[in-house]
Amino acid sequence: MTRTELPLRLLPRLARRWPVFALRAALALACAAFFALNPAPTFYSAQLVFGGYALLDGALSLFIESNPDRTRYRWALLIEGLGGFLLAFITLVAAGLSPRGLVQFIALWLVLRGLTEAVAGLRLRAERPAMFGLLAAGGAALLGGVLLFALSNQGILPLQPLVALALAASAALLLLTTRQLRAAAAKLEV
């Protein structure tokens, strides 16, 4: 099958996986709650929580992508999943990781996630203009990542509220995406 023969329909593939988007949103909310409600976590606990979250989110992204239907845009979620795995692995095993390094890893993960979700979101909007949740989630993650990079010299503790806000905004917009995909799935089954 050549590149031009690949199906262009991303919506049916993602609509079938809407529960996975809901799970990703729940994980993002749990991680956001950790950073928001824990006023002074140890650096090690922050490292473990983010590393575990990135690992699970990467696995879920790969699961969303693990579909026999091939499309042109499958690389976006594949890159997001593999990038999440790589950053999680480095975060979890890097013994000499500094607080600034942790913030930069979180920022890099948010930028990677933002870019890949924005690409997938743009494709969904091309198929159905009302599908804006994934594009907005990508934009929120991208903005949070850029802000964290800009402020990364402060370390993790002063930036906890920003990390929590970026994760909570991403989770809220993933919930919107879940709602949109669930509605699309119901229409596709009719």
Predicted pLDDT of residue 72: 55
Please classify residue 3 by burial: count the beta carbons closer than 10 Å to its beta carbon, then call 0-12 exposed, 13-18 middle and 19+ buried.
Answer: exposed
Instruction: Give the span between the Cα atoms of 56 and 17, in whole angstroms.
Output: 16
Q: How far is CA 114 from CA 53, 87, 165, in A?
A: 16, 15, 15
Q: What is the pLDDT along the chain (190 residues), one digit of tens a residue?
A: 444 333 446 777 778 888 888 998 999 999 999 888 887 777 788 888 888 888 888 888 888 776 655 555 567 777 877 888 888 888 888 767 788 888 888 898 889 888 888 888 888 777 777 778 888 888 888 999 999 899 888 877 788 888 889 889 988 988 988 888 888 888 877 4
Cα 110 to Cα 86, 103, 170, distances in angstroms: 13, 10, 9
* pTM of the full structure: 0.81
Residue 4: the pLDDT is 38
* Half-sphere exposure (Cβ direction) of 180: Cα atoms closer than 13 Å: 21
Round to whole Å and give the CA distance between 32 and 49.
Answer: 10
pLDDT of 58 reads: 84
Identify the pLDDT of residue 45.
84
